[in-house]
Amino acid sequence: MMVHLRLLGPVEIETDDGRSLPLGSGRIRTVAAALMSEVNQPIPMNRLIDLAWESEPPARARGVVPNHVHRLRRLLAGHAEIATRGQGYALVADPCAVDAHRFHRLVVEARKTEPPEAATLLRQALDLWRGEALADVPGERARRTLGTGLSQARLAARQKLGEELLLLGRYGELVTEATAWIIEHPLHEELTALLMRALQASGRQAEALDHYHRARRHLSEELGIDPGPALSQAYLAVLSGDRGATPRVPARPSATGPRTAPGGNSATASDRGSRTAPPPGVDQLPPALGDFCGRAQELAALDRHLDREPRPACVVLAGGGGVGKTTLAVQWAHQLKEKFPDGQLFADLRGFGRSPRSAGTVLSEFLSALGVPERKVPDSVQERAALYRAQLAGRRMLVLLDNAGTADQTRPLLPATPGSLAVVTSRRRLSGLIVRDGATLVTVGALTSGDALQLLGNALGRQRIEAEREPALALVEQCDHLPLALRIAAARLMAHPEWPLACWTQRLADERHRLHELSTHDGDLAVEANLYLSYRVLSSGAARLFRILGLHPGPCVGVRHAAALAGRDVEFTRGHLAELCDAHLLQEQAEGHYVRSELVRLYAARLGAAEEPRSEQDLAVQRLLSYLVQPGPEHG
């Protein structure tokens, strides 16, 4: 008997006869959602535990999860199987039984068809949604981890449907749909642009302009930014007042018969694997900063790796948030252009944001940049990666992958033949790339005092820095030599040129307000927001340890001190400390000591005070004090 597994809304399991199986409430829904999300794939016990508990899981968690799995097995008996796979479980079922799988399949099919059929398929895909993904799963961690990708795919499908309706001239239908979508996503510029074009084509220019100005206000008030290209172009088109000027989305080539490829050459599906010449001047690098300074040691280390024989195919630049990894990578990449004359590719993988970019999406964009027509881009990630590497074969290209979250997200994007180079930046060390793919690692730390003063001098004027050298040095220390913090402080001072530097250092001297002061109106440009991106992807155990370490007053923490604060044994604590080091929230020193910057300590203290119950904080301090007064060898 077929079973229907639903994730696109409240989590439901329904039989063919329409009977809903009683899942109950609580963490069993989380376990069910995880197994359904990765049907036929084994999920380790530790991952199920991390998803099911928001904070540190209790000792009984390893017994609770198997109990939930047992209940699900009984519930699904005769419909689907939950198999034990090593230290985890897998839901064995037809993937088409999962609504999320059917949704993705319909969207993929829609991309291969002509507009009328594509619109029908996209409508069928979107009709599978019954609300927000995993709407009734308890706990933000599980909903965020399992549901964010689904929500992003739904939004992309809506945009694609809007494009198809615009192509078909179904303007009234698009106006109705897009108006509802924008209520949910008022900051989504592409949806607003589609609505404006449909209103313009319907002769409703005034309404189109109203939507533009409303979106512009939202973007300014919420994000502090101006409209991007899509919205700006739609605005200019409406101002022209010519309905006929409404741009059309280019029609896809027919699935039958050969088509004329760009340049006039006949191309068919049979030449999918052939290499194409990239468009001239493939240069996707962001501009280098005009006031780049310092980093002589890191640049020298990068050059040494480039001169090695054999040369590594991948260099990982790893460091904490706001330390300037991207700036350094872009600067070095511009210096290397002559060594890679066939072009430079760039992608921000958003590995630590709420919607990391998939390797498949980036591969599609890279293939397009390399001259591969859209119709020849394969569906699977593996086929796209193979075609991408075939395109790079024999070429000397530089691939800059910024803000990578994991090795798995990055690996399909690496060139596979000599001559090309991948430069990857990440808040993690990406040990998988180093161990399995032969990548080399360059750690990016804080600026030296001299480089930090030069950065301030570039922004505020060298004479001002020389005239107020002592306050400038104090400001560098209060910003932990961190480029992001220094640039934020410089921006605030540039807005008040009459302020002496000492006035600003006095404001930062108050630890209670330092993190708040080192922020701008743009929510992303803040030290605290930057640290949160590293914190939010920690496992629950490492996140709890990070908060608890906020109770420790100094910059250096011993492994036994950390274990006492957390109430865990030393070896268990070492594992979580290693995770914090990998995220560059701590740095491991000799003899079991770990150091952290002052801004990281202040952030940990703020999180601990906000998220740990007062009773837990008191117990942690009591455990540490009890450990310190124990007789015996020196504590550390």
Question: Would you state the pLDDT for residue 94?
Answer: 85
On the question of pLDDT at 18 being above 90, the answer is no
The 3-class secondary structure across 434-449, one letter per residue, is HHHHCCEEEECCCCCH
**89-99 pLDDT, tens digit each:** 889 888 888 99
115-127 helix and 99-110 helix, angle to the nearest 10 degrees: 170
Question: Would you state the pLDDT for residue 277?
Answer: 52
Q: How far apart, in whole angstroms, are the C-alpha atoms of residue 313 and residue 335?
A: 17
Tell me the DSSP string of 551-607.
T--SSEEEHHHHHHHHTS-HHHHHHHHHHHHHTTSSEE-GGGEEE--HHHHHHHHHH
Structural domains of the chain ordered from first start = 1-168 (1.10.10.10), 170-249 (1.25.40.10), 296-443 (3.40.50.300), 452-521 (no CATH), 538-628 (1.10.10.10)
Contact 88, 48 (CB under 8 A): yes
Q: How far apart are the first and last CA of the chain?
A: 61
On the question of pLDDT at 422 being above 70, the answer is yes
3-state secondary structure at position 133: coil
**532-575 pLDDT, tens digit each:** 889 988 888 899 999 999 999 888 999 999 999 999 989 899 99
User: pTM of the prediction?
Assistant: 0.58
Q: How far apart, in whole angstroms, are the C-alpha atoms of residue 635 and residue 345?
A: 51
Angle ∠(6,85,49) on CA atoms, nearest 5: 65
Buried b (16+ CB within 10 A) or exposed e, 113-124: bebeebbebbbe
Binned at pLDDT 50, 70 and 90, residue 430 comes out as very high
Q: How far apart, in whole angstroms, are the C-alpha atoms of residue 8 and residue 129?
A: 5
DSSP code at position 526: B
On the question of pLDDT at 581 being above 90, the answer is yes
Higher-pLDDT residue of 309 and 634 is 309
On the question of pLDDT at 249 being above 60, the answer is no
Q: What average pLDDT does range 145-165 have in this prediction? A: 88
Question: Would you state the pLDDT for residue 324?
Answer: 93
Question: Would you state the pLDDT for residue 236?
Answer: 83
Buried b (16+ CB within 10 A) or exposed e, 280-319: eeeeebeeebeeebbbeebeebbeebeeeeeebbbbbbbb
Long-range contacts at 304-313 (CB < 8 A, ≥ 24 apart) = 305/440, 305/442, 306/336, 306/339, 306/421, 310/418, 311/418, 311/421, 312/438, 312/439, 312/440, 313/414, 313/415, 313/416, 313/418, 313/420, 313/421, 313/422, 313/437, 313/438, 313/439
Question: Would you state the pLDDT for residue 630?
Answer: 75
Q: What average pLDDT does range 496-524 have in this prediction? A: 83
Q: Which of 84-88, 297-301, 336-340, 384-388 has the lowest mean pLDDT?
A: 84-88
Residues paired with residue 266 on neighbouring β-strands, in sequence order:
260
Q: What's the chain's average pLDDT?
A: 85
Residue type, 411: R
Give the pairing of strands 259-260 and 266-267. antiparallel
Contact 365, 383 (CB under 8 A): no
Q: Where are the alpha helices (DSSP H) in 441-539?
A: 449-460, 462-467, 469-478, 483-494, 501-509, 514-517, 527-535
Binned at pLDDT 50, 70 and 90, residue 218 comes out as confident
Tell me the DSSP string of 263-275.
TS-EE-GGGTTS-
| The two three-digit tokens of residue 236, written as one number | 């200019």
On the question of pLDDT at 619 being above 90, the answer is yes
**230-246 pLDDT, tens digit each:** 888 888 888 876 544 44
Question: Would you state the pLDDT for residue 280?
Answer: 54
Question: Would you state the pLDDT for residue 271?
Answer: 35
Contact 416, 366 (CB under 8 A): no
Q: How far apart, in whole angstroms, are the C-alpha atoms of residue 126 and residue 149?
A: 15
| The two three-digit tokens of residue 466, written as one number | 């020389």
On the question of pLDDT at 163 being above 50, the answer is yes
Give the H/E segment covering residue 104. helix 99-110
Question: Would you state the pLDDT for residue 252?
Answer: 38
Q: What average pLDDT does range 570-591 have in this prediction? A: 90
Higher-pLDDT residue of 237 and 462 is 462
Q: Where are the alpha helices (DSSP H) in 185-295?
A: 189-201, 205-218, 229-240
Q: Which of 116-125, 244-253, 423-432, 571-580 has the lowest mean pLDDT?
A: 244-253
400 backbone dihedrals φ, ψ, rounded to 5°:
-105, 115
* 421-426, strands of its sheet edge to edge: 344-348, 398-404, 421-426, 314-318, 440-443
Question: Would you state the pLDDT for residue 314?
Answer: 94
Q: What average pLDDT does range 92-121 have in this prediction? A: 89
Residues paired with residue 13 on neighbouring β-strands, in sequence order:
5
Question: Would you state the pLDDT for residue 184?
Answer: 87
Long-range contacts at 250-258 (CB < 8 A, ≥ 24 apart) = 251/114, 251/115, 251/167, 252/113, 252/114, 252/115, 252/374, 252/375, 253/373, 253/375, 254/114, 255/112, 255/113, 255/114
Contact 447, 473 (CB under 8 A): no
Cα-based distances in Å from 28 to 25, 79, 99, 472: 7, 18, 19, 56
Question: Would you state the pLDDT for residue 521?
Answer: 65
Question: Would you state the pLDDT for residue 634?
Answer: 47
Question: Would you state the pLDDT for residue 1?
Answer: 54
Q: Which of 118-132, 207-221, 234-248, 270-284 has the lowest mean pLDDT?
A: 270-284
Q: How far apart, in whole angstroms, are the C-alpha atoms of residue 122 and residue 111?
A: 9
Contact 464, 479 (CB under 8 A): no
3-state secondary structure at position 69: helix
Name the residue among 261, 243, 421 with its Cα closest to residue 343: 421
- The answer for 129, left when phi > 0, alpha when psi is -120 to 50, beta otherwise, is beta
